[in-house]
Structure 1
Amino acid sequence: MAYRYGEFHEGPDPLAPPYDVRGALDEMGDAILSGSTPLDALRDLLRRGLPGAADRRGLEDLLRQVRRRRRELRDNTRLDGTLERARALLDKAIGQERAELFPDPSDDARFREASLDALPSDTARAVQELGEYDWRSAAARQTFEELRDLLRREVLDSQFRGMRDALANPDPAAMERVRQMMSDLNDMLDRDSRGEHTQDDFDQFMQKYRDMFPENPRNLEELVDILARRAAATQRLLASLTPGQREELSGLIDQALQQAGLAEQMRRLGNALYSRRPDLAWNTPERVSGDEPLGMGDAVTALQDLADLSDLETALRQDYPGARLDDIDEDAIRRALGRSAVDDLDALRQVERELEAQGYLRRHRGKLELTPKAVRRLGETALRRVFSSLESGRRGDHDQHDAGKAGELTGSSRPWRFGDEQPIDVVRTIVNGVRRAPSPSGRVALTVDDFEVAETERRTAAAVCLLVDLSYSMALRGTWAAAKQTALALQALVASKFPQDAVQIIGFSNYARVLQPDELAGLEWDMVQGTNLHHALLIAGRHLDRHPDFEPVVLVVTDGEPTAHLTRSGVPRFEWPPSAETLELTLAEVDKMTRRRATLNVFMLAADERLKDFVNEVARRNGGRVFSASADRLGEYVVSDFLRARRSR
């Protein structure tokens, strides 16, 4: 057998690696960590496309191509082609008749010439008057019949796509079949309106007239949609012509339908389609400016394509409430842009589905949210960014090499003691049993004295409090995204490297609250007045008190001095400039932290003189350090200080 190899054209490359949804989440994370919501971040990713081996286009590229296709279609379309051709055939028939009459000196010839001279300038009325005219010229009669055939074919093609080719050769039997199809179609629509229609009725109809519907609809609903869109495009064609052109073409259409015996059936069908799909733009004119005149059927097809492209453009913009990629019509994409665009759309849909299927995104009450799994991934990403800017060296091991309970294995073991939590060293335990009481049968009987445990490095546990300013000024100064990324990075660091630590992240504005890990990524600033560090320190103190044996680590990220405190009634009180009571209560909590042996380090994100004075007083009372960090290095400063503090402990 002979084989031929070539480029694959029938869809996506089957050998291309699947798109890594974790990479998609990381790209979304760039926007989320900068302050975007998960929904906005996903939309940005889908608009940009999917980089990588497949290099899939995004919605912006598809939208750009749709708009270019619309411009091309509008710039290359003229809608009066049928009217122009009808005028040309009419003039040709009249000229042929005049040529036949000119040599004849009879009064009848002069009378006929006078009748031709008196024809109205309106093409439709002229054709109507010539309908009863007894042509002398056989060529003129044939040309006039050609004109009538043209109008009949174009009018039917404007309603039923492909009908023009089916009626290329005039055949009374073919026209009778068209009339029967129209009658059966209207009867089926009437039965459906009464609730009597069945799928079997539609299948029988299609079996009989399938060749007249190249779109091959599967049910009556699809057929109605196809016909209604084409009927609406026909009405838009008429609305797009000048009033004079519209009147002429409407007259020609009416004459063609009357001559074919289809006027009443077409009226019934038009009314039924309009009642079922009034949402279509039935009489909206379309601005076109092409030089190539199109026949009526082709012009209707062009306007139908323009309407489909307009709908497709709306769906691709995805800027309406509840927008989903499933709203984009795959068939419309294929017709407009080809198979490769369908593959690109499928890849985008797959990413959206996989992000939900693999547990990174969830929809709750119509809102897109990140799952805890996604938050952990974003925290790891933020942590990698922080560590990429740190100097190489030992970071975060903070080991004590005597036997411990939570560190890495040291390779040595010791006899088991009551209360030990280290893992059992199975090999050495069994060896001890064999050495103590060898058994010819090979069975080993173990006693308590045989057991040994594997030693691990001792690691201290810390109670970590990160206090993050959520006040509106953080957003105004552009430091909010850095603070959120820092919180995620610290949360990821503690969860991955120091799982024995107890971390609590506290956000504060006019009041303070504990922030859960899964809400950090979607967290937004509070559009309120007040920097209630007093309340935040109160909550942090309770966290430290719940872990008295842990090493206390307290970090504060803020861009302003305290301007609010919590009153005895539990209501926050804001004052600007800060009242003496606010400062006294806040510093009292700082003193309590000092008595807990908790070093309080403050990271300033502003150079305000009042803030400098306050944090210097905090450092004097507590012995902690003050960092004046830029927003782009905040994560590096916080993580480095956390690791330094734990190593020193």
Structure 2
Amino acid sequence: MKYRYGPYREGPDPLAPPYDVREALDAVGEEVLNGGRVGDALRDLLRRGLDGENGRRGLDDLLRQVRERRRELRERGRMDGLLEQVRSLLDTAIGQERAELFPDPSDDARLREAELDQLPSDTAGAVRALRDYQWRSEAARRTFEQLKDMLRSDVLDAQFEGLKQALQSGDPAQTERVKHMMAALNAMLEADARGEHRQEDFDAFMAEYGDLFPDEPGTLEELVDSLARRSAALNRLMNSLSPEQRAELGRLMAESLQDAGLELEMSRLGDALRQRRPDLDWAGQEGMSGEDPLGLGDATSALADLADLADLESALSQDYPGASLADVDEEAVRRALGRGAVDDLAELRRIEAELERQGYLNREGGRLELTPKAVRRLGQTALRKVFSQLKGGRNGQHEQRSAGQSGELTGTSRQWRFGDEQPLDVVRTVSNAILRNPSDVRLLPEDFEVKETERRTGAAVCLLVDLSYSMVMRGSWADAKQTALALHSLVSTQYPQDAIQIIGFSHHARVLQPEQMAVLDWDMVQGTNLHHALLLAGRHLDAHPGFEPIVLVVTDGEPTAHLRSDGRPVFDYPPAPETLVLTFAEVDKMTRRGATLNVFMLAEDRRLVAFVEELARRNGGRVFSPDSGRLGEYVVSDYLRARG
């Protein structure tokens, strides 16, 4: 058999490492742990962008650039520049003609001066009256021809960007070519309206007239979009002028098109564009505050760009129902902000897509939710933060343990059994396959062996977390959630033989899974039902006889609720004697089980201090008062100390 090696061209590289979304997931997770919703957290990340080594600008940065670009365009110049330029050239031509006539004593010269005196006061009327005037001054004739050429090229440039350069030579053949182009374009639009247009027709059109369209559209629809944008911008320009300016400029444009024989074709094109793109703003206005006069084409381009920027600003703001990054037009971003901004947008889109593709986010009923995989990642991140705070050698010693180990290696190995978490003995596994069939080495399930480890006594771990409203008011809520996830991650990965249960309590208690804990909101209810939480913890310990019992309590308030015999919670403040009696009864049961209760006290209230001191006296447990932000360090350290 022959083999050929070369670059893989069938799609994405199958051996490429997966796109790294860990930084993005941690950013989303941190906001979720602080009480935010997953969708809101993702939107905040996309608005903010990533700050890491491969960070990209967020939507807010792109939005600032768009707004700055709009401001620059508005200050670029005045929209009545064409009128000013035409008036200036007209005055120059008339002045040159008068200078030629003044020394001539003939009656013809006087008649011509009288004709110039009687010209209409408005620029458009004067240009129309002089269209058939026989100039005596050659300089005046050239100036007036320059005026007409400028007017014709500017009017056409307002509709067809790039025609101004094509018509600057003043060659009548070029004007005739433009006329044929417009006729062919209108015929193609009419054929498309009848359903008879083919891509081959457009390709032939572009082969003949493609040099007149610098944006190089690939389809008729792309060409229509470009022309309709400019046509709508020209309409908004006209609407933004004063009534007198609008009327005068309209007459000038009509005069210019009529002079070039393009009036009918331009009218047909305008009607077709309006029909095909009624969604564009044809009736609006847009102000510009610059000092320099702009030609009609330049002003139209500025207004078209302003409209694009307004649409882009709306899409980047993402503040409308159902907003998505898919709404942002990549080509509009490129035109407005350049290639770098397109790359930033692509990176933001990839973050959003990869979080779902790699199984960290899931959409349920249009809402984003964290998956168990994402919660495990958040737990590992929270655990790393905790270990970064631990002092001394404990951090290093703990991080050196392998996931799934349940004790020190004994130096022996045994056949793998389903459910084993001991490290794989690679040498013995491969050796078994070779010994079984040296000529055809294939691994079978019976070949696998694992390394024997010392057995370590399992622990039944209960973490009781206060979910009451006061936890939020004191700023302890996010810290408590991160601590719960960190401890769960530590136990499940480094001490898999241990059985951990997280119990949340407010007016009643409930067992929480890590996925629930990550997105859990505090309970805006009255009551700190430690009695119920200890009941649930006792059941967990009783379900694991022979395990070392570890009970950790995180709270910022004394017990103010208990569970009645009928299962209904009762709240009372100050605590009713019955609440304290029932809670201490559960404490005493824990003591008889051999379980030590260590309390992490997040407040210094007199009643709370008195309660935990009595709890410690009865049970022999310890009381901690961690500083803000160090709860996880205290809880994890205490667990590691208990595990020896």
**TM-score (normalizing by structure 1):** 0.82
Tell me, yes or no, if the aligned pair for 1:533 and 1:564 is still in contact at 8 Å: yes
SS in 1 for 2:149: helix
1:40 & 1:19 partners in 2: Cα distance?
23
Equivalent residue number for residue 609 of structure 1: 606
The one-letter code of the counterpart of 2:633 is: E
How has the CA–CA distance of structure 1 residues 89 and 220 changed in structure 2, closer, same or farther, with 3 Å as cutoff? Answer: same
Deviations 1:176-206 (A, max 9, x none): 4433433343343344445444434433433
Tell me, yes or no, if the aligned pair for 1:63 and 1:313 is still in contact at 8 Å: yes
Alignment of 1:67-216 (within 5 A): 67-216=67-216
How has the CA–CA distance of structure 1 residues 467 and 423 changed in structure 2, closer, same or farther, with 3 Å as cutoff? Answer: closer
Question: In the alignment, does 2:616 pair up with 1:619?
Answer: yes
How has the CA–CA distance of structure 1 residues 66 and 502 changed in structure 2, closer, same or farther, with 3 Å as cutoff? Answer: same
Tell me, yes or no, if the aligned pair for 2:562 and 2:583 is still in contact at 8 Å: yes
Pick one of 535, 539, 543 that aligns with 2:536: 539
CA RMSD of aligned residues (A): 3.5
2:391 & 2:48 partners in 1: Cα distance?
34
Alignment of 1:10-25 (within 5 A): 20-25=20-25
1:346 & 1:424 partners in 2: Cα distance?
41
SS in 2 for 1:459: coil
Cα drift, residue 487 of structure 1: 0.8
The one-letter code of the counterpart of 1:169 is: S
2:421 & 2:19 partners in 1: Cα distance?
43
Cα drift, residue 154 of structure 1: 0.8
Matched length = 597
The one-letter code of the counterpart of 2:546 is: D
How has the CA–CA distance of structure 1 residues 535 and 57 changed in structure 2, closer, same or farther, with 3 Å as cutoff? Answer: same
1:475 & 1:395 partners in 2: Cα distance?
30
Cα drift, residue 162 of structure 1: 0.6
Tell me, yes or no, if the aligned pair for 2:156 and 2:164 is still in contact at 8 Å: yes
Cα drift, residue 254 of structure 1: 2.2
Tell me, yes or no, if the aligned pair for 2:388 and 2:395 is still in contact at 8 Å: no
Question: In the alignment, does 2:329 pair up with 1:329?
Answer: yes
1:332 & 1:638 partners in 2: Cα distance?
52
How has the CA–CA distance of structure 1 residues 53 and 472 changed in structure 2, closer, same or farther, with 3 Å as cutoff? Answer: closer
Deviations 1:298-323 (A, max 9, x none): 12112222333333333344444444
2:310 & 2:117 partners in 1: Cα distance?
47
Pick one of 552, 556, 562 that aligns with 1:555: 552
1:269 & 1:221 partners in 2: Cα distance?
14
Unaligned runs of 5+ residues in structure 2 are 1-16, 399-404, 415-419, 429-448
How has the CA–CA distance of structure 1 residues 190 and 643 changed in structure 2, closer, same or farther, with 3 Å as cutoff? Answer: same
Alignment of 1:36-51 (within 5 A): 36-51=36-51
Cα drift, residue 29 of structure 1: 4.3
Equivalent residue number for residue 513 of structure 1: 510
1:541 & 1:90 partners in 2: Cα distance?
99
SS in 2 for 1:506: strand
Unaligned runs of 5+ residues in structure 1 are 1-16, 399-404, 415-419, 429-451
Tell me, yes or no, if the aligned pair for 1:564 and 1:574 is still in contact at 8 Å: yes
Equivalent residue number for residue 472 of structure 1: 469
Deviations 1:146-165 (A, max 9, x none): 22222111111111111112
Percent identical: 69
2:186 & 2:20 partners in 1: Cα distance?
52
Equivalent residue number for residue 239 of structure 1: 239
Deviations 1:24-68 (A, max 9, x none): 434444444444444444444444444455564444444443333
Tell me, yes or no, if the aligned pair for 2:387 and 2:395 is still in contact at 8 Å: no
Tell me, yes or no, if the aligned pair for 1:557 and 1:603 is still in contact at 8 Å: yes
Cα drift, residue 499 of structure 1: 0.6
How has the CA–CA distance of structure 1 residues 577 and 218 changed in structure 2, closer, same or farther, with 3 Å as cutoff? Answer: farther
The one-letter code of the counterpart of 2:230 is: R
Tell me, yes or no, if the aligned pair for 1:557 and 1:605 is still in contact at 8 Å: yes
Equivalent residue number for residue 376 of structure 2: 376
Equivalent residue number for residue 391 of structure 1: 391
Tell me, yes or no, if the aligned pair for 2:19 and 2:354 is still in contact at 8 Å: no
Equivalent residue number for residue 263 of structure 2: 263
Equivalent residue number for residue 447 of structure 1: none
Cα drift, residue 573 of structure 1: 4.4
How has the CA–CA distance of structure 1 residues 304 and 454 changed in structure 2, closer, same or farther, with 3 Å as cutoff? Answer: closer
Deviations 1:115-141 (A, max 9, x none): 322333321222233334444444433
Question: In the alignment, does 2:499 pair up with 1:530?
Answer: no
The one-letter code of the counterpart of 1:97 is: E
The one-letter code of the counterpart of 2:80 is: D
2:180 & 2:421 partners in 1: Cα distance?
89
Tell me, yes or no, if the aligned pair for 1:322 and 1:366 is still in contact at 8 Å: no
How has the CA–CA distance of structure 1 residues 545 and 306 changed in structure 2, closer, same or farther, with 3 Å as cutoff? Answer: same
Alignment of 1:624-643 (within 5 A): 624-643=621-640
Equivalent residue number for residue 355 of structure 1: 355
How has the CA–CA distance of structure 1 residues 323 and 476 changed in structure 2, closer, same or farther, with 3 Å as cutoff? Answer: same
Cα drift, residue 498 of structure 1: 0.7
Alignment of 1:442-461 (within 5 A): 456-461=453-458
Cα drift, residue 412 of structure 1: 6.4
Cα drift, residue 457 of structure 1: 2.2
Alignment of 1:481-520 (within 5 A): 481-520=478-517
1:358 & 1:603 partners in 2: Cα distance?
37
Tell me, yes or no, if the aligned pair for 1:395 and 1:643 is still in contact at 8 Å: no
Cα drift, residue 493 of structure 1: 0.7
Deviations 1:426-466 (A, max 9, x none): 999xxxxxxxxxxxxxxxxxxxxxxx997632311122221
1:421 & 1:353 partners in 2: Cα distance?
33
1:124 & 1:20 partners in 2: Cα distance?
64
Larger deviation: 491-500 or 625-634? Answer: 625-634
Tell me, yes or no, if the aligned pair for 1:77 and 1:302 is still in contact at 8 Å: no
The one-letter code of the counterpart of 2:587 is: V
Cα drift, residue 525 of structure 1: 2.2
Tell me, yes or no, if the aligned pair for 2:406 and 2:496 is still in contact at 8 Å: no
Equivalent residue number for residue 338 of structure 2: 338
